[in-house]
């Protein structure tokens, strides 16, 4: 698949839980009559990993990307702010990155744009923390991709769309939301929300925080990881999620130096 515009206003088919071996019929690309229709009038939630991939793709700093291309939603069920793509008012709220030829950021398009027409639900088992997940199809009235004669297994679609890193990093974010919803936190004040925004959405600021403060004097971190955190943005984001669990929820996921 070379093209995969995003979903808009999903209507969930709750009846069918799909496993990774379940099959569905779908195809998308310039040949479908609805091509890029889904790249407008949508609420496109950007995860921290989406923001990372997009700002790197556009060669922008995190702060510049957030300022130029996103809006922040502060009132959320889990109490942490969320980031949404800013749609283009001049084109009737189309995504600013859609072109006649499809997505101009295709290789770094957000997870929501990749996974459509599937949705994913994942939970951790409360006893052993093992991951449980299922998928479902998201059918929109305007989407004609379901009429195409191409059959996919769920796992084939996920691999084709490059979802592995997105799911892994998004699950780490979900763990933080779950800890919060279980009430397992200090009282979250403005400084905690600032910590969350920096760690999740501002790669440069979080890296400065690690390497230009006394952070490394306090935490016992493997030398290989320290070197990786200097250059690998995805490893840095993984570490940011761990640090948030430690700092906000007292989870023993990092070791202090004795
Ligand atoms: S990021 Fe790309 S695929 Fe997603 S809505 Fe925008 S143009 Fe469409
Ligand atoms: S087939 Fe569906 S996902 Fe593809 S362009 Fe049409 S509406 Fe978008």
What burial class does residue 97 get, using C-beta atoms within 10 Å of its C-beta: 0-12 exposed, 13-18 middle, 19+ buried? buried
Contacts of 176 (CB under 8 A, 6+ apart): 80, 196, 241, 244, 245, 248, 249
According to the model, what pLDDT value does residue 11 have? 44
According to the model, what pLDDT value does residue 7 have? 41
Backbone φ, ψ for residue 222 (5° rounding): -55, 140
Minimum CA distance residue for ligand 2 atom 8: 38
- In testing the pocket of ligand 2, which one of 37, 41, 44, 141 has its CB within 8 Å of the most ligand atoms? 37
Q: Does the C-beta of 207 come closer than 6 Å to ligand 2?
A: no
Q: Which domain holds residue 234?
A: 185-249
Q: Which parts of the chain sit beneath pLDDT 70? A: 1-15, 126-129, 184-186
Q: Does the C-beta of 203 come closer than 6 Å to ligand 2?
A: no
According to the model, what pLDDT value does residue 4 have? 36
Whether 148 and 97 share a structural domain: yes
Measured distance CA(75)–CA(66) in Å, rounded: 18
Query: Which of 112, 143, 172 represents a domain boundary (last residue)?
Result: 172
Measured distance CA(106)–CA(159) in Å, rounded: 15
Ligand nearest to the CA of 46: 1
Whether 143 and 213 share a structural domain: no
Q: How far is CA 180 from the centre of its chain?
A: 18
Query: Which of 172, 203, 233 represents a domain boundary (last residue)?
Result: 172
Ligand 1 centroid from CA 57, angstroms: 13
pTM summary value = 0.92
The answer to whether position 177 is within a domain reads: no
The answer to whether position 46 is within a domain reads: yes
Whether 40 and 91 share a structural domain: yes
Q: How many domains does the chain have?
A: 2
Whether 206 and 240 share a structural domain: yes
Query: Which of 146, 172, 198 represents a domain boundary (last residue)?
Result: 172
- Give ∠ CA 173-186-182 in degrees, rounded to 5: 55
According to the model, what pLDDT value does residue 182 have? 78
Q: How far is CA 88 from the centre of its chain?
A: 21
Tokens of 3: 């093209």
Whether 113 and 201 share a structural domain: no
Whether 164 and 93 share a structural domain: yes
According to the model, what pLDDT value does residue 128 have? 67
Ligand 2 centroid from CA 4, angstroms: 7
According to the model, what pLDDT value does residue 126 have? 66
Ligand nearest to the CA of 29: 2
Measured distance CA(103)–CA(235) in Å, rounded: 27
Whether 130 and 200 share a structural domain: no
| pLDDT, tens only, 40-56 | 989 999 999 999 999 99
Q: Which three-class secondary structure string do you get for the chain?
A: CCCCCCCCCCCECCCCCECCCCEEECCCCCCCCCCCHHHECCCCEECHHHHHHHHHHCCCCHHHHHHHHEEEECCCCCCCCEEEECCEHHHCCECCCEECCEECCHHHCCHHHHHCCEEEEEEECCCCCCEEEEEEEECCCCCCHHHCCCEEEHHHHHHHCCCHHHHHHHHHHHHHHHHHHCCCCCCCCHHHHHHHHHHHHCHHHHHHHHHCCCHHHHECCCHHHHHHHHHCHHHHHHHHHHHHHHHHHCCCCCCECC
Ligand nearest to the CA of 26: 2
């Amino acid at each position: 698949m070379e093209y995969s515009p995003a979903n808009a206003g999903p209507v969930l088919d709750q009846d069918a839980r799909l496993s990774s071996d379940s099959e569905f019929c779908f195809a998308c690309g310039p040949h479908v009559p609805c091509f890029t229709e889904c790249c407008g009038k949508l609420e496109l939630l950007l995860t921290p990993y989406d923001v990372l991939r997009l700002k790197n793709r556009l060669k922008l700093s995190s702060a510049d990307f957030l300022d130029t291309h996103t809006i922040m939603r502060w009132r959320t069920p889990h109490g942490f702010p969320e980031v949404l793509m800013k749609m283009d008012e001049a084109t009737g709220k189309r995504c600013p990155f859609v072109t006649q030829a499809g997505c101009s950021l295709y290789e770094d398009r957000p997870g929501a744009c990749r996974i459509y027409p599937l949705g994913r639900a994942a939970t951790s088992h409360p006893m052993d923390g093992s991951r449980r997940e299922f998928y479902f199809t998201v059918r929109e009235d305007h989407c004609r991709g379901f009429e195409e004669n191409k059959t996919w297994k769920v796992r084939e679609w996920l691999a084709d769309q490059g979802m592995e890193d997105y799911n892994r990093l998004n699950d780490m974010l979900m763990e933080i939301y779950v800890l919060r919803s279980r009430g397992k936190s200090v009282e979250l004040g403005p400084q905690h929300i600032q910590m969350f925004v920096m760690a999740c959405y501002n790669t440069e600021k979080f890296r400065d925080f690690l390497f230009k403060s006394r952070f490394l004097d306090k935490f016992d971190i493997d030398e290989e990881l320290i070197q990786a955190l200097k250059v690998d943005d995805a490893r840095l984001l993984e570490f940011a999620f761990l640090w948030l669990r430690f700092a906000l929820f007292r989870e023993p996921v990092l070791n202090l130096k004795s």
